[in-house]
Chains A and B, each alone.
Chain A
Amino acid sequence: MNRNLALHLAVIAALYILHLTLPAYHHGQVARIMVLAVFAMGYNILFGYSGLLSLGHAMFFAAGMYGMGLSAQHLGFATLPAFLIGILCATALAFVVGLLALRTIGVGFMIVTLMFAQAGYLTILYFGEYTRGDEGFVLTNTARNFGNLDFSTADTRYLAALCLFSGALLLKLLIVRSKRGRVMVAVRENEERARMLGYNTWSTKLYALTLSGLFSGASGASYAILFGYVGASFAAVPYSIFPLLWVLVGGAGTTLGPVIGTAFMFYLIDYASGVTDAYMLVVGVTLVLITLFVPGGILGLVKSRFARWIP
């Protein structure tokens, strides 16, 4: 077993220990962070590894969330099939968006993804009859069960979040260390060179975007199940900015960076919202400071100073 795998398993073990020791409030918050960290991991696959900056990832998170929530609420699907439908919706959406948006590069890609996400958000509002628009809807408890597991109880919720988180983290480690994962990095570093080494850079980017959608969708669908609420605010612009922020803060192109970034920003925003209504100010200031002083993020800094082996 190499030290990479050991490090990741240690993180998972530490989170399990937290489950046994954390007070109730933080127990709930950490569960939330784990689910959102999966969203950040998905974002990182596209941005950190493939170098594509999307400003529309809320649409994939929301596709997972609404795919799950709507099929449970209106079609009477059980939790597990609804969860899978959520993931499928997000993955398919990412694939289709990729087919179109990947025809553009750089700033064009950012604006196109932003526009698609905006259209997605407005679509949710437009079909307010089913989605209940901004207000959202609360999932019934029947949609939050699997076997005799009740996801609305704190312990089950935490452990389910931990399972999702662990699976995503290890899967991501596997992806980025795979042949295809290395090619993603090659595309980020120098697309023309990657192409002239015989790699299909376009399909690599589509692969990265689709996987990114899958992770984001899994996060969105889980969020619906574990916290029982589906709402349009999760499809709005801030939820496209958050994963970017989490990844930038934690360290783009690292497997654990998004986890650190999510936890850090989540608690920072949580704290700020207790102090002022203008808590998004924290987001703005952090974004500016990060671009100015720590473009590599927290883990990027650690990596370049102390331990280059961290993936």
Chain B
Amino acid sequence: MLALIEGLVQAAVLSLTALGLSLVFGVMRVVNVAHGEFFMLGAVIAWWVATLVGTNPALGFIAALIAAPIIAGLIAVITDWLVLKRINYDPEATIVATIGLLYILQQSVLMTFGPDARPVEAPFNTRLAIPWIENTDAGWALYWPWGLSTTSYKLFVIVAAIALLSLIWYIMSRTKLGLILRATQLDSETALAFGIPVERVYALVFGIGAALAAVAAVLIVPIQQAHYLMGADPLLLSFIVVIIGGLGSLRGTVIAALIIGMSDGIISVFFTPTLAKIMATLLVAMVLVYRPQGLFGTRRV
């Protein structure tokens, strides 16, 4: 039960981050290697905003929840405009450029934020005990065992992620913006011919992708800590999720995030974290080699 909630928290944050990567790949057909750095940026901004606001953690948290995605999104839009647009979104050049961006963001944070990990306080953090049923001498009884508890904040993370995912799903499938995005995803040239401002759509998508990673980081930062190197793991995990879920498939991404997030805890019970990571990376490589459309994705032409 406890592992389940921990797994769900992992999955929630992961699906938001991976969704950003998946959206960018789906619509723009480019891989953003700097995606993990936008995640890191979100966490660092959260710390920065929380410190600025000061005493009230809840107020700081809400401010961070608004500021982090906007700032990360803006940086992404500027990058798109300054760099990606000028190399015509060439897939290989984009990878090289975003590797560059990765180091620029990471090292800039190192210079300003410093090399230390810094915690952010959660807005509320009530301990919740979880009831358990046990067959005692007096028959079945409900009781609250020690150690089996979670915090209200973790439940909040899960709820918030579900709300955000639903919002994204709603935008993609029910609104005009979603229609424009899907049209661009299918065929950018035809979309352009039908008067869709593809360039602005690309900038927007790149911004949204980064903002999603930043939001995910703001959610997780009260549980983990902000650190300038924290972008590597979310990037790797997002890759795994997006590849297993099928590149560009939103539904597949969420399903894969659930599986990876949940199983992460389970795998590390049996193997050391290093061995688990080795197996995960090899799995991704093999999926790409033998099933490039992903385990759940539908075949693309």
Measured in the bound complex, the distance between the Cα atoms of B239 and A247 in whole Å is: 26
* Nearest CB of chain A from residue B210's CB, rounded to whole Å: 16
Q: Is residue B91 within 8 Å, beta carbon to beta carbon, of the partner chain?
A: yes
Give the chain A neighbours of B243 by CB distance below 8 A: 111
Q: Mark A260-276, 1 if CB is under 8 A from B, else 0.
A: 00000000000000001
The minimal Cβ–Cβ distance linking A244 to chain B, given in whole angstroms, is: 7
Cα distance A286–B236 when bound, in Å? 24
Other than the given A112-B288, A248-B96, 9 more pairs (CB < 8 A) read A100-B285, A104-B292, A107-B95, A277-B110, A278-B111, A283-B103, A285-B100, A290-B96, A292-B86
Contact yes or no, B289 A104, CB < 8 A: yes
Answer whether residue B123 sits at the interface, using C-beta atoms and an 8 A cutoff: no
Q: Are A112 and B274 in contact, with the CB atoms below 8 A?
A: no
Tell me which residues across on chain B come within 8 A of A202, comparing CB atoms: none
Q: Is the CB of B289 within 8 A of A112?
A: yes
Question: Inside 8 A of B83's CB, which chain A residues have their CB?
Answer: 288, 291-292
Q: Does B226 contact A (CB under 8 A)?
A: no
B295 at the interface (CB under 8 A from A): no
Q: Is the interface of A mostly helix, strand, loop or mixed?
A: helix
Q: For the complex, is B186 an interface residue (Cβ under 8 Å from A)?
A: no
A106 near B289 with CB under 8 A, answer no
> A-facing mask of B280-301, CB < 8 A → 1, else 0?
0110111011101000000000
Q: Which of A106, A112, A115, A279 contacts B92 (CB 8 A)?
A: A106
Q: Which of B143-190 contact A (CB under 8 A)?
A: none
- Give chain B nearest CB distance to A113 CB in angstroms: 8
The answer to whether the Cβ of A84 comes within 8 Å of any Cβ in the partner chain is no
The 8 closest A-B pairs by CB, nearest first: A284-B103, A287-B100, A281-B107, A284-B104, A288-B100, A278-B107, A115-B285, A119-B281
Partner of B97, one of A111, A125, A278, A287: A287
Q: Is A101 engaged at the interface, CB distance under 8 Å to the other chain? A: yes
Whether the pair B278, A122 counts as a contact (CB closer than 8 A) is yes
Within the complex, what minimum Cβ distance (angstroms) separates A233 from chain B?
14
Contact with A along B70-99 (1 / 0, CB 8 A): 000000000000010011000111011101
CB-CB nearest in chain A for B271? A126
CB distance from A224 to the nearest CB of B (A): 23
User: Which size bracket describes the interface of B in this complex?
Assistant: 35 or more
User: Can you list 29 A-B pairs, Cβ within 8 angstroms, ordered by A?
Assistant: A55-B95, A101-B289, A104-B289, A104-B292, A106-B91, A106-B92, A107-B31, A107-B95, A110-B31, A111-B239, A111-B284, A112-B289, A115-B282, A118-B277, A123-B278, A276-B111, A277-B115, A278-B108, A280-B103, A281-B107, A283-B100, A283-B103, A284-B99, A284-B104, A286-B100, A287-B100, A291-B83, A292-B86, A292-B87
Q: Are B107 and A280 in contact (CB under 8 A)?
A: yes
Does A53 count as interface, using CB distance less than 8 angstroms? yes
- Is B212's CB within 8 Å of the partner chain A? no
Which residue from A123, A125, A276, A287 sits with its C-beta under 8 Å from B96? A287
**Which secondary structure dominates chain B's binding surface?**
helix
* Cβ-based interface call for A81 (8 A): no
Do A291 and B93 touch across chains, with their CB atoms under 8 A apart? yes
**A278 touches which one: B95, B110, B239 (CB < 8 A)?**
B110
Question: Cβ of A125 and Cβ of B274 under 8 Å apart?
Answer: yes
Q: Does A241 contact B (CB under 8 A)?
A: yes
B19 within 8 A of A: no
> Are the CB atoms of B281 and A241 closer together than 8 Å?
no
Report the minimal beta-carbon distance from B21 to chain A, rounded to whole angstroms.
12
Looking across the interface, which residue of chain B has its beta carbon closest to that of A289?
B100
Closest to B112 in A: A278
A311 at the interface (CB under 8 A from B): no
Binary contact readout B178-222 vs A (1 if CB under 8 angstroms, 0 otherwise): 000000000000000000000000000000000000000000000
Residue of A nearest to B31 (CB): A107
CB distance from B231 to the nearest CB of A (A): 12
Whether the pair B289, A100 counts as a contact (CB closer than 8 A) is yes
Q: Tell me if A76 is interfacial: C-beta within 8 Å of chain B.
A: no
Please tell me if A28 contacts chain B, counting CB pairs below 8 Å: no
> What chain A residues lie within 8 Å of B135 (beta carbons)?
none
Question: Bound complex: CA of A286 vs CA of B110, how far in Å?
Answer: 18
Q: For B91, give the chain A residue with the smallest CB separation.
A: A107
Question: A277 vs B107: C-alpha distance in the bound complex, in angstroms?
Answer: 9
Inter-subunit contact A118/B111 (CB<8 Å): no
CA distance A287 to B83 in the complex (A): 11
Are A291 and B100 touching (Cβ within 8 A)?
yes
Instruction: Report how far A288 CA is from B101 CA in the complex, Å.
Output: 7
Instruction: Please measure, in the bound complex, the distance between the C-alpha atom of A118 and the C-alpha atom of B281, giving whole angstroms.
Output: 7
Measured between C-beta atoms, what is the minimum distance from B29 to chain A in Å?
9
Interface string of A129-141 (1 = CB under 8 A from B): 0000000000000
Instruction: Collect the chain B residues with CB atoms within 8 Å of residue A100's CB.
Output: 285-286, 289
**CB-based contact A126/B289 at 8 Å:** no
Closest to B282 in A: A119
Contacts of B106 in A (CB 8 A): 280, 284
Residue of B with least CB distance to A116:
B285
